[in-house]
């Protein structure tokens, strides 16, 4: 956990009082909606179909139990008793009143949570691997650098009015759980031949109307130069990014139009003029941030305690353990994923009661720490393996032990037309129907790893382009239709999926997904060939044939 | 439109001179970049103060040769959401050591004052009277800053370092 | 459906109303014939020509303090004059989400 100091607290409190004044001026008519809109967006406030929506940042996906309880409090006090975890380590509340927002922000500020820049044309919440600090394969904890970037990008005087939104993601593992290749800037922490820690910097990834996979702009930027290099990229983008067309304003379009070599040269020229500036991160500064992250004092525990051996006789426990428990860097401990994808439920939603219960379990079993991942699930990052059976029973009681992590019913979905003013079609009911179709755990297990992603419009908040199966809602003559892509992925081998054919109506989406899955089961070379690999091997044609033969 | 200079509402000594109007021999004027660049050598040496209104889509490098002879550079925010002039301001101040008046023009609203001050602006053509009146108060809204800019304020990172050093020195 | 927020040319093809969200709390509201707002669709002013629609939208937009994002949306007039939402989006805004909320109201 990163502990705020007086300076961090001062900034977020000053931000709350500024926003309180802005809301007051808006409600009195001193500010027009046109003037206010960007100000509210910069504090995470959207206007959706039914009400204002409030998006709160969970930087690099790390929460303390105290913070989670405060989110539960906001859900109960200012909203309708639940919240929605998003694909970018944020939580959204759907029914907030503008007049009460300053109070909600103030309650969150008390525990070091803010909503700064969770929307608007500025640098957004910095996301990272939800297993940061505990993953066995990582170089070092990427959250140190995430926090440095969080501070650097917060209320930046030069880059608060960029051409368009701007998103960072960081990973320090070989396996990318942070989807860095679909971010405006993706950072991969690694060590060079001299053993020095630095970053491969990728730029220009993004989904939306025109999806692009990020390209490497510089293979190695030393940690000390990270902020100056980022500033150079942002400065080039701020000056040359397109502002004439909202759909062409992201940095991915600038990189595409200039070409990566030309863009890289512009950045390099800028960077060489400022790399030895006040932005240089001395070891001492980095160490100071590092020192304010606290880590648990782990016990020396056995890998295979008696409790686990005994519980192995319970097939339900075993199904859950095999699915939701991942190796930890410390022997005797495990990372436990909490599925927010119950059968028939809206993906990523948690009630205030669940949040409180999870906070209590985190205190009891995970050193008071909770993680939020881009797959819209939560995790307890430091669970002693001996406690797994007891924890499982508790998680099951509150409905977050569905053993479907990374399986076909672990669906990523945006809020869609049920909530969102941009949506063309609904997402949640599609997801709910799919979880019912694939509710049988043995079937889902037989199918294996398969990511289904659903977006209710081309803005792609459900990351449909990079779903193994991607579902995009469109509108045809006032009816909801859905385009289906397959073969996308968001990890280190990120690729945009391929459209399999004409859009299908709302009522047929689940049937089509079943057809695709059946085709895969018939076509796969071996039981352990994953869906994504079968698509890669065979292309979309056999799937297209299967789906459209009878349609 | 009220003008705020050095934190206070002030009269504007500069006269905006349109491209087709005659340029007075003395007196402080603000003219367009196109007009200025058409005869920069002469104009930058005229008796009165000369200031240039620089568009936000033109590289400030073109202005650099004349900076030490200019009394004012006015940068433009055509709408407040267009933030290009923040970069121009920092480049002029921090890279090209421009010391004259740096003026924010266009849709200049209260909620940008802190950003503009940090980027190096010292003069503001403010859209609304009420915003101009609130300038001093708004400028004090934040007391902690995460980024280093040319305004010389210590960043949070550096304040923490100082604090650390003074703590260890006191031990 | 094209986001009504991008509504440019105003041409209606059937009975329509003007809807927005209330500024202080975001609740869905409908422009009424007496130049106010109501949370009930049944109170909405109904327009049938593009000129009427333009005029109703203009007066609605003029209330920038009270309402956000006013736009024209279609309605159906049922037998007996009952006003119903004219598309799925407006149905959802008027009747609520089509799913069960995680916490029942």
How distant is the Cα of A20 from the closest Cα of chain B, in angstroms? Answer: 12
What is the enclosing helix (H) or strand (E) of B157? helix B156-170
DSSP B95: I
* DSSP letters spanning A227-292: HHHHHHHHHHHHHHS--S-GGG-SHHHHHHHH-HHHHHHHHHHHHHTTTTSTT---HHHHHHHHHT
pLDDT at B95 over 90: yes
pLDDT at A521 over 60: yes
How distant is the Cα of A478 from the closest Cα of chain C, in angstroms? Answer: 6
* DSSP letters spanning A277-330: STT---HHHHHHHHHTB---------SS-HHHHHHTT-HHHHHHHHHHEEE-SS
Chains A and C touch (3+ CB pairs under 8 A): yes
Query: What average pLDDT does the segment C7-12 reach?
Result: 77
Query: What average pLDDT does the segment A368-377 reach?
Result: 97
Provide the pLDDT for residue A482. Answer: 98
Provide the pLDDT for residue B170. Answer: 65
Domain ranges (residues) in chain A: 6-109, 134-291, 306-397, 412-548
Chain A hits for B86, CB-CB cut-off 8 Å, are: 157-161, 238
Provide the pLDDT for residue C9. Answer: 76
Name the residue with tokens 């001179």: B17
Asked if the C-beta of A428 comes within 8 angstroms of chain C's C-beta atoms, the answer is yes
Strand, helix or coil at A499? strand
Domain ranges (residues) in chain C: 4-94
In a 10 Å sphere around its CB, with 0-12 CB exposed, 13-18 middle and 19+ buried, how is residue A477 labelled?
A: exposed
Query: What average pLDDT does the segment A9-38 reach?
Result: 97
Angle CA(A274)–CA(A279)–CA(A282) in degrees, nearest 5?
120
> How would residue C2 be classed by pLDDT, with cut points 50, 70 and 90?
very low
Asked if the C-beta of A120 comes within 8 angstroms of chain C's C-beta atoms, the answer is no
Query: What average pLDDT does the segment A502-507 reach?
Result: 98
d(CA B124, CA B10): 10
Cβ atoms within 10 Å of C64's Cβ, excluding its own: 17
Query: What average pLDDT does the segment B23-45 reach?
Result: 94
* DSSP letters spanning A262-279: HHHHHHHHHHHTTTTSTT
CB proximity list for A471: less than 8 A, separation 6 or greater: A427, A430, A452, A453, A454, A455, A462, A464, A482, A483, A484, A509, A513
Provide the pLDDT for residue A351. Answer: 98
pLDDT at A77 over 50: yes
Chain C hits for A350, CB-CB cut-off 8 Å, are: 102
Q: What does each C-alpha distance from A63 to A103, A521, B79 come to in angstroms?
A: 21, 39, 38
Regarding the domain delimited by A6-109, which CATH topology (the fold level of the hierarchy) does it fall under?
Answer: Sulfite Reductase Hemoprotein; domain 2 (3.90.480)
* DSSP letters spanning A373-426: -TTS-EEEEEEEGGGHHHHHHHHHHTT---S-TTSTT--EE--GGGT-SS-SS-
d(CA A423, CA A427): 9
Cβ atoms within 10 Å of B34's Cβ, excluding its own: 12
Q: Please, what is the average pLDDT of chain B?
A: 95
Asked if the C-beta of A81 comes within 8 angstroms of chain C's C-beta atoms, the answer is yes
Q: What whole-number percentage of chain C has pLDDT above 90?
A: 88
Provide the pLDDT for residue A1. Answer: 82
What tokens appear for A425 in the block?
Answer: 């079609």
Of A506-515, B125-134, B145-154, B158-167, the poorest mean pLDDT is in: B158-167
Asked if the C-beta of A96 comes within 8 angstroms of chain C's C-beta atoms, the answer is yes
pLDDT at C1 over 50: no
pLDDT at A227 over 80: yes
Spatial contact of A99 and A111, defined as CB atoms under 8 Å apart: no
pLDDT at A341 over 90: yes
Query: What average pLDDT does the segment C12-35 reach?
Result: 97
List, for residues A292-336, the tens digit of each pLDDT value: 999 999 999 999 999 999 999 999 999 999 999 999 999 999 999
Provide the pLDDT for residue B109. Answer: 97
Domain ranges (residues) in chain B: 3-143
Q: What whole-number percentage of chain A has pLDDT above 70?
A: 100
* CATH tag, A412-548: 3.30.413.10
d(CA A54, CA A209): 24
* CATH tag, A134-291: 3.30.413.10
pLDDT at A539 over 80: yes
Instruction: Write the Ramachandran bin of A399: left for phi over 0, alpha for psi from -120 to 50, otherwise beta.
Output: left
CB atoms C24 and A96 under 8 Å: no
Query: What average pLDDT does the segment A418-447 reach?
Result: 97
List, for residues A414-425, the tens digit of each pLDDT value: 999 999 999 999
> How would residue A255 be classed by pLDDT, with cut points 50, 70 and 90?
very high
> How would residue C105 be classed by pLDDT, with cut points 50, 70 and 90?
confident
Query: What average pLDDT does the segment C36-41 reach?
Result: 98
Asked if the C-beta of A346 comes within 8 angstroms of chain C's C-beta atoms, the answer is yes
List, for residues A458-486, the tens digit of each pLDDT value: 999 999 999 999 999 999 999 999 999 99
pLDDT at C6 over 60: no
Provide the pLDDT for residue A120. Answer: 96
d(CA B121, CA B94): 12
Query: What average pLDDT does the segment A130-147 reach?
Result: 96
Provide the pLDDT for residue C7. Answer: 60
Provide the pLDDT for residue A209. Answer: 94
* CATH tag, B3-143: 3.20.20.70
Cβ atoms within 10 Å of A123's Cβ, excluding its own: 26
Name the residue with tokens 């990270």: A226
Provide the pLDDT for residue B168. Answer: 78
Structurally, at CATH architecture level, domain A306-397 sits in Alpha-Beta Complex (3.90)
Provide the pLDDT for residue A45. Answer: 98
Chain B hits for A159, CB-CB cut-off 8 Å, are: 83, 86
In a 10 Å sphere around its CB, with 0-12 CB exposed, 13-18 middle and 19+ buried, how is residue B41 labelled?
A: exposed
Reported ipTM: the value is: 0.97
């Amino acid at each position: 956990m990163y502990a705020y100091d007086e300076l961090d607290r001062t900034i977020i409190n000053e931000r709350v009082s500024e926003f309180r004044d802005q809301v007051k001026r808006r409600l009195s008519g001193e500010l027009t909606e046109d003037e206010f809109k960007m100000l509210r967006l910069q504090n995470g406030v959207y206007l959706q179909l039914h009400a204002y929506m409030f998006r709160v940042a969970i930087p690099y996906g790390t929460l303390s139990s105290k913070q989670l309880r405060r989110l539960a409090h906001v859900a109960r006090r200012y909203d309708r008793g639940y919240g929605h975890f998003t694909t970018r380590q944020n939580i959204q509340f759907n029914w907030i009143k503008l007049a009460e927002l300053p109070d909600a922000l103030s309650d969150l500020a008390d525990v070091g949570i803010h909503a700064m820049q969770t929307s608007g044309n500025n640098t957004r919440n910095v996301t990272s691997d939800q297993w940061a600090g505990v993953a066995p394969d990582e170089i070092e904890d990427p959250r140190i650098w995430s926090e440095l970037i969080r501070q650097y990008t917060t209320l930046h005087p030069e880059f608060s009015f960029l051409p368009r939104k701007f998103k960072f993601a960081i990973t320090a593992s070989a396996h990318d759980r942070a989807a860095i290749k679909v971010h405006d800037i993706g950072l991969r922490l690694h060590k060079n031949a001299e053993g020095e820690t630095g970053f491969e910097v990728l730029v220009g990834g993004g989904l939306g109307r025109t999806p692009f996979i990020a390209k490497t702009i510089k293979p190695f930027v030393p940690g000390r130069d990270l902020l100056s290099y980022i500033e150079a990229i942002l400065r080039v983008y701020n000056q040359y990014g397109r502002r004439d067309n909202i759909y062409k304003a992201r940095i991915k379009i600038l990189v595409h139009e200039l070409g990566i070599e030309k863009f890289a040269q512009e950045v390099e020229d800028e960077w060489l003029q400022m790399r030895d500036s006040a932005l240089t991160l001395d070891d001492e500064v980095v160490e100071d941030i590092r020192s304010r992250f606290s880590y648990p004092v782990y016990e020396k525990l056995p890998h295979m305690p008696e409790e686990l051996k005994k519980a192995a006789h319970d097939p339900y426990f075993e199904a859950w353990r095999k699915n939701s428990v991942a190796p930890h860097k410390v022997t005797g401990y495990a990372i436990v994923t909490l599925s927010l994808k119950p059968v028939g439920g809206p993906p990523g939603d948690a009630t205030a009661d669940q949040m409180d219960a999870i906070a209590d379990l985190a205190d009891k079993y995970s050193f008071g720490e909770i993680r939020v991942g881009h797959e819209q699930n939560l995790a307890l990052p430091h669970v002693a393996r001996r406690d797994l059976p007891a924890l499982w029973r508790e998680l099951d009681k509150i409905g977050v032990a569905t053993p479907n992590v990374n399986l076909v019913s672990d669906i990523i979905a945006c809020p869609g037309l049920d909530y969102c003013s941009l949506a063309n079609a609904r997402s949640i009911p599609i997801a709910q129907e799919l979880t019912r179709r694939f509710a049988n755990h043995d079937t889902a297990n037989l199918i294996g790893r398969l990511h289904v992603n659903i977006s209710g419009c081309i803005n792609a908040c459900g990351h449909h382009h990079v779903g193994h199966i991607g579902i995009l809602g469109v509108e045809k003559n006032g009816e909801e239709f859905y385009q289906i892509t397959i073969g996308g992925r968001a990890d280190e081998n990120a690729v945009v999926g391929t459209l399999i054919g004409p859009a299908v109506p709302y009522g047929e989406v689940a049937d089509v997904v079943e057809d695709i899955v059946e085709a895969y089961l018939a076509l796969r070379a071996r039981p352990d060939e994953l869906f994504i690999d079968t698509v890669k091997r065979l292309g979309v044609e056999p799937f297209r044939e299967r789906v459209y033969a009878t349609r | 439109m009220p003008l705020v200079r050095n934190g206070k509402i002030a009269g504007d000594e500069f006269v905006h001179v349109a491209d087709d109007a005659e340029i007075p021999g003395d007196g402080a004027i603000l003219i367009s970049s196109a007009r200025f660049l058409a005869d920069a050598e002469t104009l930058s040496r005229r008796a009165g103060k000369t200031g240039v209104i620089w568009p936000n889509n033109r590289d400030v490098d073109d202005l650099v040769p004349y900076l030490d002879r200019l009394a004012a550079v006015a940068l433009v925010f055509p709408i407040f959401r267009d933030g290009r002039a923040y970069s121009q301001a920092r480049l002029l101040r921090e890279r090209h050591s421009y010391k004259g008046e740096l003026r924010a023009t266009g849709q200049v609203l209260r909620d940008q004052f802190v950003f503009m001050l940090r980027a190096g602006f010292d003069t503001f053509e403010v859209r609304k009277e009420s915003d101009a009146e609130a300038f001093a108060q708004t400028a004090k809204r934040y007391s902690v800053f995460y980024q280093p800019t040319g305004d010389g304020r210590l960043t949070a990172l550096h304040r923490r370092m100082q604090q650390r050093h003074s703590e260890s020195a006191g031990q | 459906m094209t986001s009504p927020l991008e509504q440019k040319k105003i041409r209606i093809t059937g009975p329509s109303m003007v809807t927005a969200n209330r500024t202080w709390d975001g609740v869905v509201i409908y422009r009424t014939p007496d130049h106010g707002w109501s949370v009930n669709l049944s109170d909405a002013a109904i327009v049938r020509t593009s000129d009427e629609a333009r005029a109703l939208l203009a007066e609605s937009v003029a209330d920038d303090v009270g309402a956000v994002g006013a736009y024209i949306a279609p309605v159906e007039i049922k037998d007996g004059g009952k006003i119903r939402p004219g598309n799925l989006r407006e149905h959802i805004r008027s009747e609520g989400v089509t799913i069960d909320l995680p916490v029942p109201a």
